[in-house]
Amino acid sequence: MKIILAETAGFCFGVNNAIRIAGETLVRGGTINTLGPLIHNDQVVNDLKEKGIGIISEISEVPEGSRVIIRAHGVAPGIYREAEERNIEIVDATCPYVKKIHKLVKKMHEDGYTIVIAGDRNHPEVIGINGWCGNSALIAGTPEEAETFAPVGGKCCLVAQTTMTRERFDGIYEKLKEKCKSVVKFDTICSATASRQEEAEKIARISDVMLVIGSRKSSNTRKLFEICSKYCKKTYLAETYGDLPPINPEEVQTLGITAGASTPERTIKEVFEKMDELNKQEKEMSFAEAFENSMVTLRNGEVVKGRIIGYNNTEIFVDLGYKSDGIIPVEEFTDDPDFEPETGVNIGDEIDVFIVKVNDGEGNVMLSKKRVDTMRSLEIVEEAYKNKTPVEGKVIEVTNGGVIVSVNGVRVFVPASQLDEKYVKDLGEFLKQTVTIKIIEMNRQKRKFVGSRRAVLAEAREEMEKQVWSNIETGKKYTGTVKSLTDFGAFVDIGGVDGLVHVSEMSWLKVKHPSELVKVGDQVEVTVLEFDAEKKRISLSMKKEEDNPWYRVSEKYKVGDIVKGTVVRLVPFGAFIELEKGLDGLVHISQISNVRIAKPGDVLKTGQSVEAKIVEVNEEAKRISLSIKEVNPIDPEPAANEQKADEKAPEAQQDEKAGKEKEEEIPNEHREELSNTIGDIIGSLDEIK
C-alpha cells in the first residue's frame, strides 16, 4: 500500500500566527481568554485551557482590566470599541489575510457599494467581515443561495471567505452578475487555502482511500472533504487516528492523506505512522490469517458472548463455552455503586464480556462487563456529542467544582455551573440521581467528557415557553408554581413562563402581603387576565368566583331572615355588621333603635355581637341592609343621656338648641324620611370609597 501525504497539510500561516501570539501572551501572565475557540481543533484548544487560557463567547463576559485574544477569524469593529470602553486589553491574532478583507469591505461600503460575501453566514470569519459594513452584507454559501437575491440597485462588491472553494466563488459571481448591473469582484480566497485544495484534489484523483484529518467544526477541513469526496469514493474525515474506520491494506493500493489548516502536526504524524505500521503488519501476516488465529482460543482483550450461570455477593459466573468458566468481580459488572447481584443479575441472561485474563493462575478466566459497556457507551457519548443529542446518566460522585455522571460506564464531568439554571448550593442533593445531560466538550484521546444539565433544562424551558405562548388565551386556567414573592404580588411559573398575580388578585379578602397566602414552591391554580406576547408579560388571578363572599349571596341570605353578626365599623349614618369573612351588612342609624339617637356609637361598639333582620339583599350592587330594632331594639339609658347632655359645653348646647329649632321647622312626618335618604346617600358614598 502506497501512502501519499500532502505537503500542504497542517497549520496555515494564520493559525500558526495565532498560536504563536497566544504563547507570547501566556508568558506575560494575568487573566487571559480567547473570544471563541482560538482555532477549530479541540486538542489545541484543550492544551491552551490546561496552560491557563480560557474561552468566552461574549466580550461582556470579560472582567474589566483583563486580556482577550482575538482569534484568527477576526471580529466586527464593535468588539474593539466595547473593549476600549471597559479597559480590556485586546491581543489581536486576526489573520493578516482576514484583516485585509476588513479594510476592503469598510472602504467599499463607505463608497456606496452593496457588499456581498461568498461564505458560510454562520462562520465567525463571515460574521466578523459583515460587521465592517454595518451588518448590511448579502451572504451566499452557494450559487443557489445567490440566485434567491432580489435585484440589487447600484453597484456591488463581492468578497470571499478565505476558505471558500474557487468553484463556488466563481458560481456565486456568475449569479450575482444577473442580479446587479455593476459587480466588482475581489478574490480574497487565501492562497494557502487554494494550494491546499488543489493538492488535495490531485491526490484524491489517484487514491483508493483518502483520509482528511481535522475537526468537523473547521470550514477549510469540511471543504477539503467535499473536494476529495468528488474524486475518491472512499474519503473519510477524522479528527484523530482513533476516528478512522478499519482499513485493509490488501484492498488498498494508494492511500492519500491531507489535513485542514487547524490540524496539529503531531496528529498528522500519528495518522501517517499508524498507517505505515498497518502497512508493515500486512506484509508479515494477512488479515485472513490473523482472523483465523484469533478464533483458535480465547485471548486477552477480546470481547465474547457468555451466559450467566450463577453469582454470589462478590462474583458473577459466566459460561463461555470454554474449558473454564469466566468470573466477573461485582465491581467489574457495572459502575453503579448501589448495584446488588440479588436484584441486578438474572441467571440465563446472555451478555457480552471483555476478557481481562485467560488464566488467573487458578485456571479461571477473569472477565469485565463494565469495560464492554464503557467501550460501547463511548461510541454513544461521542455520537451524542456530534449530533448534540441528550443522554441519561447517574450521578455517582461529587467532586470539587461539580459532579461525575456515569453514562453507562463513561465518566462525564458536569461543572456546578452546568447542573441547573440557578445556583446549586449543595451538590450532594444530586448524588445517586438519574439526570439528562448534553455533552458539551469531548477529548477522545484523554477520555475527558464535559456535560451540561443546564443546556437540557434551557432547551426544555424554551420549548415549554413556545407552547405556552402559542396556546395562551384570556380566561385560560393553569396550575403553576410560585417562583418568587414581592410586596406587590407573586410570580407564578405556568410552564416555562412566569406571570404576575397582583396582591389584589390573590384573594377576595384584603391581603397585606402575598406571604400571608403562599410561599415559594407552592402549587396554585391561576387564571389568565391579560397578556402581551411582545413584551412577554402575563397578568394572572388566583381568585375563584365561587370563593367570592358575594357569590350567590341571595341564595344564602333572604329578606326577613334573622342573622347574627359582629359590629366591625361605626359611621355617622349607621353601623357595618360582619356576617361572615368579607361579607358586611349595613344597619342604618334609623334601624338601630326605636328611640332617636345622635350617633351609632351611643348604643353600639366595635366588636359587639348583635342580631339583626335582613330588610334588603341586592347581589348586583353588593349590598345587604339590616335592621336591629325589628329584632331587639337597643335604647339608650335616659340617665346616661342626661349626664352626657350636662357635660356638653355651652357652645355645643347652643348648637343643639339651634338644631332642634331647625328640626321643628320640618314636619314630623318628613323627618324620618329625610334622615333615611341622607343616610343612604352617605352610605353609598362610603361603599364607593
Integer Cα distance of 410 and 391 in angstroms: 11
CA distances from 170 to 121, 143, 150, 373, 388 (A): 18, 8, 19, 50, 34
Q: Which of 70, 174, 73, 177 is nearest to 130 (CA)?
A: 73
Give the amino acid at 256.
G
Residue 293 DSSP symbol: H
| The 3-state secondary structure of 19-41, one letter per residue | HHHHHHHHHHCCCEEEECCCCCC
Integer Cα distance of 573 and 589 in angstroms: 5
Residues 383-394 as b or e (16 or more Cβ within 10 Å = b): ebbeeeebbebb
Which residue, chain included where needed, has cell 413556545? 466
CB-based contacts of 437: which residues, under 8 Å, 6+ apart?
390, 391, 392, 393, 405, 407, 412, 414, 451, 452, 453, 455, 456
- Burial (CB count within 10 angstroms: exposed 0-12, middle 13-18, buried 19+), residue 168: buried
CB-based contacts of 218: which residues, under 8 Å, 6+ apart?
39, 40, 41, 260, 261, 262, 263
Q: Which of 241, 236, 270 is nearest to 252 (CA)?
A: 236
Long-range contacts of 410-413 (CB under 8 A, 24+ apart): 410/374, 410/377, 410/378, 410/381, 410/449, 411/335, 411/447, 411/449, 412/381, 412/437, 412/439, 412/449, 412/450, 412/451, 413/448, 413/449, 413/450, 413/451
DSSP class per residue in 586-631: EEEGGGT-SS--S-GGGT--TT-EEEEEEEEEETTTTEEEEESTTT
* Residue 500 backbone dihedrals phi, psi, to 5 degrees: -105, 125
- Beta strands of 79-126 (E only): which ranges? 89-92, 114-118
How many alpha carbons lie under 13 Å from residue 685 in its C-beta half-sphere?
A: 9
- Burial (CB count within 10 angstroms: exposed 0-12, middle 13-18, buried 19+), residue 218: buried
CA distances from 3 to 171, 221, 244, 245, 352 (A): 34, 20, 15, 16, 37
10 Å Cβ neighbour count for 415? 15
Q: Which of 50, 64, 82, 125 is an active site residue?
A: 125
CA distances from 305 to 294, 334, 576, 683 (A): 15, 17, 87, 91
Reading the block at residue 658, the C-alpha cell is: 339651634
10 Å Cβ neighbour count for 584? 20
Integer Cα distance of 105 and 107 in angstroms: 6
Q: Are strands 477-486 and 489-493 parallel, antiparallel or unpaired?
A: antiparallel
* Residue 97 backbone dihedrals phi, psi, to 5 degrees: -65, -40
Beta-bridge mates of residue 2: 254
Reading the block at residue 644, the C-alpha cell is: 352626657
Altogether, the residues listed in the chain come to a count of: 689
- Burial (CB count within 10 angstroms: exposed 0-12, middle 13-18, buried 19+), residue 12: buried
CB-based contacts of 306: which residues, under 8 Å, 6+ apart?
318, 319, 320, 321, 326, 350, 351, 352, 353, 367
- Is 125 in the active site? yes
CA distances from 617 to 559, 560, 611, 614, 685 (A): 7, 10, 17, 7, 18
Instruction: State the catalytic residues.
Output: 125
